[in-house]
Amino acid sequence: MSKLVEMVGIDKFFPGVHALKSVQFDLEPGEVHALMGENGAGKSTLMKILSGIYQRDGGALTIEGQEASPRTPREAQDLGIGIIHQELSLMNDLTVAQNIFIGREPRKSFGRLDENALNAQTARIFASMNLKLDPKALVGSLTIAKQQMVEIAKALSHRSKVLIMDEPTAALNDAEIAELFVIIRRLKAEGVGIVYISHKMDELKQITDRVTVMRDGEYVGTVGAADTPINTIIAMMVGREVNEKPLAAPDLGDAGVSLQVKGLNRGQDIQDVSFSVQRGEILGFAGLMGAGRTEVARAIFGADPKDGGEISVHGKVVSINAPKDAVKAGIGYLSEDRKHFGLATGMTVRDNIALASMDLFIGKGGVLNEAEIASTAQSYIKQLGIRTPSDAQEVRLLSGGNQQKVVIAKWLLRDCDILIFDEPTRGIDVGAKSEIYKLLEKLAAQGKTIIVISSELPEILRLSHRIAVMCEGRLTGILPGGKETTQEDIMYLATQRTAAMQVTGTAQ
């Protein structure tokens, strides 16, 4: 029996970048084949070639034994290849159902749309995914997690023979991921071949059959998922061992309170949230999708209006009505949605890194010290290992993970006393992730205050000195960090949905 997909010796060049160097990859029917590698290794590029978005510059591609070179996404679809892109590509002004069926709308005569059928079919797909989402909701009004679910639903609706998932879980929390895995297993049973790209190592053992590892645009090897230790795979990816230190929560003693939030409120989204963080502390924020963590962060930062609440920095009440006030008060916020809120994607890496700190580089008459911007940017590129041909590359041409690192660099350069990181490691590879953890710890050790919002419980547990848990706009409790706290403890608080629940633990 022939393989579903076979790619051999694939080459791809971009201006100044040799993105794929004779890469090989194959996929069997009914298998989940993970594609792993650091940020910028070339995973997305390889899959874009398979799905007809890029054309290969060399090598051979066969689908079910037939030579194929899909030139457009449509041709790839016709060959039975579906893809969930790493970057969301949805039409924000259209409804969920309209997005899912774009190009395949149920029609009546004369090009008239059958909107009822459209919504009904969407509802059916959602039901099969065990997803509660209104088919008529505007996609632009959804959180990214839900948008990601829409992307998944869209790919599923194609009933492809090959389904490529490029970091489908980057924006999802554990419960959602579990649901996705149910779907993947079902598809697998139906004989669909699935390419699975993820930076979450724990997912490998759960669903994948084989793992192919890439590094720097090169093929490293393919191993069985069940019989290869995770550490071996990581070593293949980064070319060295990555060892995770367990968390040692420092004793902060009487280090002063640097950020205090009292009675933060906004409608249903934020209900009476109060907490405080000490200098040198890392406070983790955990919760399910829609718990309101992002809302709290944005309200503190002044990105959204708030109905009420008092914010004090270093004991002084500050009035924050816009992000500029927050930055002035020494608060930085790294958004979870880098494409819309984090990056000026048409500008260079250099300018994006300097974006929040332009005032550092202003000389006489508002003239910028370009050389200094460049050298600063280069030092961050080196420090964070941002894979880019130069600091003058446009950000939109970087791989997803490297874009994320650019946003991090922006806030590191700004050197705020209080840094709020919303899903800082979304789409970042294991190696880089552990570097970022080290970085956050170093920042905390220097006396900075760090708030980390993350949907990955292991990450929260690995990083946080204390853990704040939210549910439906309320802060349901604050747990101590370290070994005493388990994932179950967090989940318990994250699902306390009744309004009558008391806040457990202490808010300093």
Partner 1 sequence: MTSTTDVEKKKPFANLADSGAYQKLLAFASLIVLLIGFSIASPNFMQTSNMIAILQATSVNGVLAVAATLVIITGGIDLSVGTLMTFCAVIAGVVLTYMGMPLLLGVAAAIASGAFCGLCSGTFVAKMKIPPFIATLGMMLILKGLSLVISGTRPIYFNDTPGFDQISRGSLIGEVVPAFPIPNGVLILFLVAIAASYILGRTVLGRYTFALGSNEEAVRLSGVNTDAWKMRVYALAGAICGIGGILIASRLNSAQPALGLGYELEAIAAVVIGGTSLSGGRGTILGTLIGALIMAVLTNGLRVLSVAQEWQTVVTGAIIILAVYADMVRRKKAS
Ligand X SMILES: Nc1ncnc2c1ncn2[C@@H]1O[C@H](COP(=O)(O)OP(=O)(O)OP(=O)(O)O)[C@@H](O)[C@H]1O
Q: Using CB under 8 A, which residues numbered 155 to 174 contact partner 1?
A: none
98 counts as binding partner 1 under rule CB under 8 A: yes
Q: Which does 92 bind (CB under 5 to 8 A by kind): partner 1, Mg ion, ligand X, none?
A: partner 1
Q: Smallest gap, in angstroms, from Cβ of residue 27 to ligand X?
A: 17
> Are 264 and 296 in contact, with CB atoms under 8 Å apart?
yes
Distance CA 28, CA 5 (A): 7
Pairing state of beta strands 193-197 and 162-166?
parallel
| Other beta carbons less than 10 A from residue 105's beta carbon | 17
294 counts as binding Mg ion under rule CB under 5 A: yes
Q: Which does 136 bind (CB under 5 to 8 A by kind): Mg ion, partner 1, ligand X, none?
A: partner 1
95 counts as binding ligand X under rule CB under 6 A: no
- Figure out which of the listed residues 62, 143, 228, 312 binds ligand X, where binding follows CB under 6 A: 143
Q: Mask 219-258, x = binds partner 1 (CB under 8 A)?
A: -------------------xx-------------------
Distance CA 68, CA 6 (A): 10
294 counts as binding ligand X under rule CB under 6 A: yes
Interacting stretch for ligand X, rule CB under 6 A, among 35-43, 248-256, 313-321, 461-469? 35-43
295 counts as binding ligand X under rule CB under 6 A: yes
Q: Smallest gap, in angstroms, from Cβ of residue 82 to Mg ion?
A: 17
Distance CA 414, CA 402 (A): 19
Pairing state of beta strands 282-287 and 449-453?
parallel
Q: Which is nearer to Mg ion, 36 or 413 (CB)?
A: 36
Of 414, 395, 252, the C-alpha closest to 329 is: 414
- One-letter amino acid for residue 312 of the chain: S
Distance CA 349, CA 120 (A): 45
Distance CA 293, CA 430 (A): 24
Q: Which is nearer to Mg ion, 373 or 419 (CB)?
A: 419
Instruction: State residue 310 phi and psi, 5-degree precision.
Output: -125, 135
Q: Smallest gap, in angstroms, from Cβ of residue 327 to partner 1?
A: 3
- Figure out which of the listed residues 42, 332, 424, 481 binds partner 1, where binding follows CB under 8 A: 332
Residues in the chain: 508
Of 424, 432, 350, 434, the C-alpha closest to 389 is: 350
301 counts as binding partner 1 under rule CB under 8 A: yes
462 counts as binding partner 1 under rule CB under 8 A: no
Distance CA 164, CA 176 (A): 18
CA 244 centroid distance within chain: 21
Alpha-carbon Rg of the chain, whole angstroms?
23
- Figure out which of the listed residues 162, 288, 418, 451 binds partner 1, where binding follows CB under 8 A: 288
- Figure out which of the listed residues 455, 464, 476, 485 binds ligand X, where binding follows CB under 6 A: 455
Q: Smallest gap, in angstroms, from Cβ of residue 26 to partner 1?
A: 24
Cβ-proximal residues to 127 (8 Å cutoff; 6+ apart), any chain: none
Beta bridge partners of 218: 21, 215
Q: Which is nearer to ligand X, 14 or 248 (CB)?
A: 14
Cβ-proximal residues to 114 (8 Å cutoff; 6+ apart), any chain: 105, 106, 107, 108
86 counts as binding Mg ion under rule CB under 5 A: yes
Q: Smallest gap, in angstroms, from Cβ of residue 18 to Mg ion?
A: 17
Q: Which is nearer to ligand X, 151 or 429 (CB)?
A: 429
Q: Using CB under 8 A, which residues numbered 338 to 377 contact partner 1?
A: 340-347, 351, 355-356, 358-359, 362, 365-368, 370
DSSP per-residue string spanning 221-250? EEEESTTS-HHHHHHHHHSS---PPPP---
Q: Using CB under 5 A, which residues numbered 383 to 442 contact Mg ion?
A: 399-400
- Figure out which of the listed residues 27, 32, 34, 44 binds ligand X, where binding follows CB under 6 A: 44
Beta bridge partners of 257: 278
116 counts as binding partner 1 under rule CB under 8 A: no
Q: Which is nearer to Mg ion, 388 or 399 (CB)?
A: 399
- Figure out which of the listed residues 216, 272, 415, 417 binds partner 1, where binding follows CB under 8 A: 216
Pairing state of beta strands 331-334 and 418-422?
parallel
Binding site for ligand X (CB under 6 A): 14, 17, 19, 37, 39-45, 86, 137, 141-143, 145, 173, 268-269, 287, 289-295, 336, 387, 397-402, 427, 429, 455, 473
